[in-house]
Structure 1
Amino acid sequence: MLLEHKVALIHGGGGAIGGAVARAFAREGAQVHLAGRSRAKLERVAADIVAAGGRAEIATLDALDQNAVDAHAAAVAEAAGAIDIALNAVGIAHVQGTPFAELSLQDYLQPIADYSRSNFITAQAAARHMPRGGAILTLSTPGSRMSGVGFLGYGTTCAAIEAFSRLLAAELGGAGIRVVCLRPDAIPEALPVSYAREVFEGYARRSGATVDAMLEARAHSGTLLGRFPTLAQVADYAAFVASDRAGAMTGAIANLSCGSLVD
C-alpha cells in the first residue's frame, strides 16, 4: 500500500474532493484525520472508511480559526506521533458569474482573503508536526491561468494558491517537506454535495442554461479528452503524490484538468 504507516490530516474532509481523497488515503493504508465544519458530513466519510477496514478520526472546526487548527494538529500529532500528509480541501462560498463592472470590492476580495488565510493556517499547523518530512497538498483550478468573464476574484485566488504552494515548497524543502498543488477542473459528480453548484449557477443564469448543460458543453468543447476529471482520478493521484513514490516532486502544480489547460 502506498501510504502504510502514514498519518494524514485533511481539512474539508467531509466535502466531495476531501472525502474522496480521504477514502483513497485510507485504502492505501493511511490513518486519516478528518476536520471540517459539518459533523454529519465528516461522520459519513469516516463511516465509509471504517466500513472498508480503514482508520478515521473526525474533528469539527473552522479552517479559518488559527487557534482551533493549531490545537487540533497538535492533538493529532501527540496521539499519532507525527503528521505525514496534510491536504486543504476546504470549500468557501464566494461569488462567481458577476462581470467586473457589477462586482463589488468585497465580493472580489473575499475568496482571495479566506482561501489564502485557510491555506496558510492549515499548512503551518501541519508543518510544525512533520519532523520526519512529509507532503502538504493544496487545491487550485484552471482559473488560475485562464482569462474570462465572471471569475476575477476566484481566478486571482487560485493563482495565489499556486504561488503560495511554490513558495512554500522552498520554505519547507530543507525540512524534507514537499508541497504539491492539485489543479483539477470541474468535477460534475461532486456537484450534488459541493458548494460548487451554487457557484456555477451564476454563470448558468446569465447564459440561459442549466448548470449541468453548461458543464457538459464546456467539457466537450473545452477539454482535450472531451470530459472532466472524476473524483476517483483526483483522489488516486493525490494518494500517489502524497506517497514516497513521488518523493522527487515538490513545488509542482499537478494539471488534472483533462486538457482544459495545457502546460
Structure 2
Amino acid sequence: MMVLTGRTALVHGGGGAVGGAVARAFAAAGARVHLAGRSRARLEAVADEIGDAAVVADVDALDGRAVADHADAVAAAEGGIDIALNAVSFPFVHDRAFAEVSVEEVLHPIERHLRTNLVTAKAVAPHMAARGAGTILTLSAAASRIGTPGSLGYGTACAAIETLTQRLAVELGPSGVRVACLRSHLIADGPAHGSPTGELFARRAAAAGVDVAQLPADVTLLGRLPTLAQVGAAAVFVASDGAAAITGAVLDLTCGSAVRTATGSVVGVLD
C-alpha cells in the first residue's frame, strides 16, 4: 500500500542494513527518501535499488552543523520533512564481563548514540513543527530489556535511546510531532546485508551449544528472529496515518525475547 505517497523521509545511516531496509520500505510505500551517512558507496547502493525516489548526501550524524544544514536543504528542496529515522550505529564492546571492560568502553556507545539521536532530532523537529506534523523514529535493541551479560554499554545505550524517545515525545507533542522507537532483536538477515552481527551470532550460538540456525529457538518466544523486511514494515506503519495516535512508544519487534524481564515478570509489547 502506498501509505506514504507525497511524503519526504530523511534516513541517517541509510547505507546500513537496517537504515537501508527502512529506506527501501519507505520508498515502496510512496515516500521520497533522502539517504544520509558517511559511506557514499553504501548509500549509493541503496539508492540504486530504490531508484529515482532516493537522494544521497554525505553527512556525519555527529556533526550538529552539518546535520542541520542538510535538513534545511532537504526541507527547502521538498517543501518540508515528514519522517526522520536515525539508524546510525557505532562499534561497541560486547560479550565481555564487567571486570574486563573499561569505563571508556562502556560510555562510548552511550554517548555516541545519545548524541547522534539528539543532533538529528534537533535538526528536523523545527521543520516538522512548522507544519504541525511529522514523525521521528529511533532504533534500539532487546539489550535494553533482557538480562544478557556482556552488553553493559550497548544495553545502557539502548535503554537511554528509549527514554530519550519518550522525553522527545513529551517535548514535541504540543507541536504535532510524534516520536517512536523500534526495538528489535538480532536481525536474522542482517549479516547478509552488511550488519556486523554475524560474529556475534556465532559466539552466542557457541555459548548455547547450538548451531546458529537453532539460536532463535532459545532466545525468542516465536522461535525465530525478526527480519529486515519486518522492521521496515513496522517503520512504514508508525510513519503512516494509521499510527496517528502513537507517540512516546517503544514498539517491540524482538519476536518475544523482551516480553519478560530478567525476573520473569510480563511487560507490555507496546510500552
For the aligned pair, the TM-score class normalised by the smaller chain equals: over 0.9
Looking at structure 2, the residues matched to 178 and 208 of structure 1 have their Cα atoms a distance apart, in angstroms, of 40
Partner of 2:54: 56
Separation in 2 of the partners of 1:203 and 1:223?
17
Measured after TM superposition, the shift of residue 206 of structure 1 is 8.0
Match in the other structure for 2:17: 16
Once residues 2 and 227 of structure 1 are traced to their aligned partners in structure 2, the CA distance between those partners, rounded to angstroms, is 28
1:154 Cα deviation after fit: 0.6
The residue number in structure 2 matching 1:33 is 34
Q: Does 1:255 align with 2:246?
A: no
Residue 239 of structure 1 corresponds to 236
2:224 maps to 227
Query: Is the alpha carbon distance of 1:202 and 1:149 closer, same or farther for their aligned partners in structure 2, counting shifts above 3 Å?
Result: farther
- TM-score of the superposition, structure 1-length normalised? 0.93
Deviation, 1:18, is 0.6
Contact 2:140/2:183, CA 8 A, preserved across alignment: yes
Deviation at 1:67, TM superposition (A): 1.0
Of all paired residues, the percent bearing the same amino acid is 53
Which 4+ residue blocks in structure 1 deviate beyond 4 angstroms? 201-206
Q: Which moved more, 1:115-124 or 1:186-195?
A: 186-195
The one-letter code sitting in structure 2 at the alignment partner of 1:87 is L
Contact 1:91 1:195 in 2 (8 A): no
Aligned ranges for residues 105-254 of structure 1 at < 5 Å?
Answer: 105-130=103-128, 131-132=130-131, 133-192=133-192, 193-197=194-198, 200=200, 203-204=203-204, 207=207, 213-214=211-212, 216-254=213-251
Q: 1:206 & 1:220 partners in 2: Cα distance?
A: 14
Q: Which whole-Å CA distance do the structure 1 matches of 2:161 and 2:222 have between them?
A: 26
What is the one-letter code of the residue matched to 2:34? H
How far did 1:146 drift?
1.3
Matched with 2:265 is: none
Q: Which amino acid aligns with 1:7?
A: T
1 CA distance for matches of 2:222 and 2:189? Answer: 17
Asked if 2 retains the 8 angstrom alpha-carbon contact of 1:98 and 1:202, the reply is: no
| Distance in 2 of aligned mates of 1:59 and 1:237 | 25
Contact 1:150 1:203 in 2 (8 A): no
Normalising to structure 2: TM-score of the pair? Answer: 0.90
**Which residue of structure 2 lines up, in the alignment, with residue 104 of structure 1?**
102
Matched positions, count: 256
Kindly indicate whether the alpha-carbon contact (under 8 Å) linking 1:14 and 1:42 is maintained by their aligned counterparts in 2: yes
Question: Residues 43 and 58 of structure 1 are in contact (CA less than 8 Å); yes or no, is this contact kept in structure 2?
Answer: yes
Q: Which consecutive unaligned segments of at least 5 residues does structure 2 have?
A: 260-267
